[in-house]
Amino acid sequence: MHYLVTGHTGFKGTWLALMLHARGHQVSGIALDPVDGALYTDAGVHEVMTHDLRIDVCDAPALTRAVDELAPDAVVHLAAQALVRESYLDPMGTFRTNVNGTLNLLDATRAAGSVRAQLIITTDKVYRNDSRTRGYVETDPLGGRDPYSASKAMADLATQSWAASFDCPPTAIARAGNVVGGGDACRDRLLVDLQRGFAGGVAVPVRFPDAVRPWQHVLDCLNAYLVLVDALLEGSGQGEWNVAPESQDLVTVGRVADSAASMWGDGAAWIHVPGDHPHEAELLALDASKLRRELGWRERLPFAEGLSWTVDWALGRREGHSARSLCEEQIERFERLE
């Protein structure tokens, strides 16, 4: 199988490329340059790529040509502006990348004759958030107060419209929550900020310690994506799907920080920094029972174990182990889990 991953130089895209390669697939990628310190560069992931292209998904002609020339069997669309706080700084760029970029990809795969399945990744934040305690289900209304959430809800709706209106490859949408895992270098992400501060011996400022999120290890999330692609290839799986942990793994930011500090040791600490911060949802929970019931997916790493794998990865890197070897070892361990 030949997979095309957009956004493959990002955190999820890097782990996905390595996971696909470990499963024996060809992997090509379309993305912008990796950010400084990115796992993609640190792990030398370009070495496992069949094609490694630098194309902005907002460049529709270049994207269409590339998809046609690459002729992938399956596409996983991860390319996005993925940060809530960044969306306040560059709202126009956020909407352009997340909405227009997704439409450009859908148009490109529609024109290409090779694609047999496509998975569009949105987010748990596409739902109109009313801080309900039960998890959102796929039929709940979409919305979005901040530019990031709104742009992803628009991309989700645009994909649904596209799939319903045109003759295009079998299409699924995955709505996933917060992921953790080794090697993330993106700013304004909790575990990244915590580990950077722990390594520097400083108390890490945390904005919203009482906020609740559906935390999940990146390998569990990516495995769900590939379950969806397999279903599409087998003639099912179209539509919208939540990807989320069981309800007991919906924990507060403060608990994540406490657990990570305890696992890190060496006096690691964090502090609450109240203030007038840009809006972020206080409570966000997804119900992934549809994915479990209809396609048999389940997570293999409970919250505490997934967090432990994340911290172990960072400590292993500090001890001099290569990023590639740490990723490959964890992927191999994950694949052995029942």
H or E stretch including 150? Answer: helix 147-165
Give the burial string for 309-331 (b: 16+ CB within 10 Å, else e): bbbebbbbbeeeeebbebbbebb
Residue 285's pLDDT band (boundaries 50, 70, 90)? confident
Rounded to a whole number of angstroms, the CA Rg of the chain reads: 19
CA separation, residue 72 to residues 4, 13, 26, 201 (Å): 6, 16, 9, 46
Residue 52's pLDDT band (boundaries 50, 70, 90)? very high
Q: Is 113 left (phi over 0), alpha (psi -120 to 50) or beta?
A: alpha
Rounded to two decimals, the pTM is: 0.91
Q: Can you give the pLDDT at residue 2?
A: 98
Is the pLDDT confidence value at 325 over 80?
A: yes
Q: Can you give the pLDDT at residue 280?
A: 57
Q: Can you give the pLDDT at residue 278?
A: 57
Sequence ranges of the domains in the chain: 2-336
- pLDDT higher for 320 or 132? 320
Q: Can you give the pLDDT at residue 188?
A: 67
Is the pLDDT confidence value at 279 over 60?
A: no
State mean pLDDT over 229-244: 97
Q: Are 253 and 181 in contact (CB under 8 A)?
A: no
Pair type for strands 250-252 and 212-214: antiparallel
Mean pLDDT of the chain: 92
The structure tokens 């270049």 sit at: 62
Q: Which of 48, 68, 66 is nearest to 57 (CA)?
A: 66
Is the pLDDT confidence value at 211 over 90?
A: no
What distance, in Å, lies between the first and last C-alpha atoms of the chain? 24
Q: Can you give the pLDDT at residue 162?
A: 97
Q: Can you give the pLDDT at residue 1?
A: 96
Q: Can you give the pLDDT at residue 210?
A: 83
CATH number of 2-336: 3.40.50.720
Q: Can you give the pLDDT at residue 303?
A: 87
Is the pLDDT confidence value at 260 over 70?
A: yes
Percentage with pLDDT > 70 across the chain? 95
Question: What pLDDT digit, counting tens, does each position of 111-164 carry?
Answer: 999 999 999 999 999 999 887 778 899 999 999 989 999 999 999 999 999 999
- pLDDT higher for 191 or 81? 81
